[in-house]
Amino acid sequence: MEIASLTIDQIREGLAARRFSALELATQALEFAQAANPKTNAYLHFCPERALAAARRVDAALARGDDPGALAGVPVAVKDVIVTKGVRTTCGSRLLAQYVPPYDATAVIRLEQAGGVILGKANCDEFAMGSSNENSAFGPVRNPVALDRVPGGSSGGSAAAVAQGAAVVALGSDTGGSVRQPASFCGVVGVTPTYGRVSRYGLVAFASSLDHIGQLGRTVRDAARLLQVVAGRDEMDSTSAFAPVPDYLALADGRVRGMKLGLPREYFKDLASETGDLIARGVDLLRRLGCEVREISLPHTPYAIACYYIICTAEASSNLARYDGMRYTTRSAGSETLSDMYRNTRGEGFGAECKRRIMLGAYVLSSGYYDAYYLKAQKVRTLIARDFSEAFREVDAIVTPVSPFPAFKLGEKLDDPLQMYLSDIYTITGDLAGIPCLSVPCGSTAAGLPVGMQILTRHFDEAGMFRLADAFQRAGGCAG
Ligand code: GLN
């Protein structure tokens, strides 16, 4: 059994043919992931008891002749901003270092009901704020492809675990690119579904109107399978959508001939040259598969970063108010008064990036500035969403780079938050519009650094997105 390169199909076949049991697989996967972890710090902690119990349930179902589920025996990593009952959930923050949630996120319940085996919790930027995973209170993650480089963020641990073979698939969260950008940097597939497609119940809130639970895998099919299991209406999240969830794998039938693809000219201006070349090769491959490619315009793109960083900081400042040493979090010791206790707890507990965002967010929401910043940003958000709706009248999918450059060195952008924010330039628009988008590997630079290509489709058309990405990947995806 080649643990590091297993696919869900191989696991399914292996279990059915009784080549291995789910318990054997879980044991080996845990051993592999634990041994590999010191290299990358992808996992913050493992939950072996929970993993082995899940595997035993799968074996029992198989022994009874029952269907063990679509993810039977599949080793999964879960980003540590998604709550797990009885298993520590830190959000990469010192404040929650000891927090053990009393309930499971809906996505976690669903993936375990489908036979998934959660190995542990994946490292991430504190409260999912960051683009390099360097904002984790528990140390950065290293990119398994190049250990002196970042894995991207904020779902850097999830992407690194999948790239390293320490999980077959992973859950991440995406507010402004946090699944697609690390997927691109680590050479795996990263999916951000339509806003509302996956319940956010149990996803610790960063910016609620932008937060998504996303899926990572080494293949498009594996990521699609994971989405299939966790997607769909949930009574516990009133923003989760009623839209039926189609059979993504059945619809990924390779039929992409005649699909109309748009290349937005605003996304091809400031690319590192090798990234641009690889995306151009990717687009050529799509052409050879029979797609019609045309240039389009998404004219409000230049305002996206400013718009995003106003809305997300505003929502974050409100969402993070609950970490006050009273309702949640480890309390700072020895404060004289209540307000001192709040101040000390938050002052000692939050890292620099969270503090920066709380201050920015409180500022843009304050009376006198609300109209000038927050309200204006909401209007711009509508214009950005409208750009996409207009474009989708002409094309079936939009193809862009994921990041202007490949994985950068650890520490390289740490002192310059603006430079760091710029790495999200091509990913945040999809979140602002709430449409499905993914990153699919599209080859590597001469130095061996992976580059991802982004595909975006209409609201709830994940099936079209997977069909195109799967056809691309099966045709070689510009390997090398
Ligand atoms: N890098 C972006 C940020 O720092 C996106 C984060 C995310 O998607 N969670 O806000």
The C-alpha R_g of the chain, in whole angstroms, comes to: 21
Q: Which residue among 93, 125, 127, 414 is best mutated to probe the pocket of ligand 1, counting the most ligand atoms within 8 A of its Cβ?
A: 125
Tokens of 284: 């050529």
What is the pLDDT confidence band of residue 479, given thresholds at 50, 70 and 90? low
Distance 209 CA to ligand 1 centre (A): 13
Return d(Cα 61, Cα 71) in angstroms, integer: 13
To test the pocket of ligand 1, the residue of 132, 154, 315 to mutate (highest count of ligand atoms within 8 Å of its CB) is 154
C-alpha 79 to ligand 1 mean position (Å): 14
pLDDT of residue 422: 84
Does 128 contact ligand 1 (Cβ within 6 A)?
yes
Question: Which one of 3.40.190.10, 3.40.50.360, 3.90.1300.10, 3.90.1490.10 gives the CATH number of domain 1-297+398-480?
Answer: 3.90.1300.10
Closest-CA residue, ligand 1 atom 4, reads: 130
Answer yes or no: is pLDDT of 438 > 60: yes
Q: Mind listing the pLDDT tens digit for each residue in 98-135?
A: 999 999 999 999 999 999 999 999 999 999 999 999 99
Distance separating alpha carbons of residues 83 and 92, to the nearest angstrom: 12
pLDDT tens figures, 379-397:
999 999 999 999 999 999 9
Q: Is the CB of 178 under 6 A from ligand 1?
A: yes
Answer yes or no: 178 catalytic. yes
45-72 average pLDDT score: 98
Regarding the beta carbon of 316 and ligand 1, being less than 6 Å apart is answered no
- 372: DSSP letter: I
Q: Check the CA dihedral 147-148-149-153 and report its sign.
A: positive
Indicate if ligand 1 lies below 6 Å from the C-beta of 312: yes
**Could you give the maximum distance between any two Cα atoms of the chain, in Å?**
70
Provide the sign of the torsion angle of the four alpha carbons 89, 90, 92, 97, taken in this order: negative
Q: Which residue in 21, 132, 178, 444 is the catalytic one?
A: 178
- From the CA of 308, give the closest atom in ligand 1: 10
Kindly give the distance from the C-alpha atom of residue 214 to the centroid of ligand 1, in angstroms, as a whole number.
13
For residues 26-39, give the mean pLDDT: 98
Alpha-carbon dihedral sign for residues 354, 356, 359, 363: negative
Find the 421 Cα to ligand 1 centroid distance in Å. Answer: 8
pLDDT for residue 305 is more than 90: yes
d(CA 55, CA 116): 8
Report d(CA 116, CA 195) in Å as an integer.
Answer: 23
Q: Output the CA–CA distances (angstroms, integers) from residue 315 to 259, 288, 326, 433, in the order listed.
A: 37, 44, 21, 16
Mean of the pLDDT values across residues 180-203? 98
For the Cβ of 131 lying below 6 angstroms from any atom of ligand 1, the answer is yes
Share of the chain above pLDDT 90, in %: 93
How close is the Cα of 22 to the center of ligand 1, in Å? 35
User: Which of 93, 132, 136, 154 is labelled catalytic?
Assistant: 154
Q: Are 192 and 210 in contact (CB under 8 A)?
A: no
pLDDT digits 0-9 by tens, 309-322: 999 999 999 999 99
Torsion of CA 259, 264, 268, 269, to 10 degrees: 170
Instruction: Name the amino acid, one letter, at 381.
Output: R
Q: Is-catalytic flag, 297? A: no
How far apart (Å, rounded) are the C-alpha atoms in residues 209 and 195? 8
Residues 174 and 214 sit within 8 Å (Cβ to Cβ): yes
Determine if ligand 1 sits within 6 Å of the CB of residue 311. Answer: no
409 is catalytic: no
156 in Cβ contact with 141 (< 8 Å): yes
DSSP state of 455: E
Instruction: Give every CB contact of residue 389 below 8 A, 6+ residues apart in sequence.
Output: none
CA 173 to centroid of ligand 1, rounded, Å = 9
- Nearest-atom number in ligand 1 for the CA of 174 is 8
Amino acid present at 310: I
CA separation, residue 255 to residues 233, 258, 367, 399 (Å): 29, 9, 53, 17
Looking at 165-217, list the stretches that DSSP marks H as alpha helix, in order from N- to C-terminal side.
180-186
Cα–Cα distance for residue pair 453/451, rounded to 1 Å: 7
pLDDT for 319 equals 97
Amino acid at 362: A
What pLDDT does 474 receive? 96
Tell whether ligand 1 has an atom less than 6 A from the beta carbon of residue 430.
no
* Per-residue pLDDT at 480: 46
Which DSSP helix (H) or strand (E) runs through 439?
A: strand 437-444
Q: Is the CB of 129 under 6 A from ligand 1?
A: yes
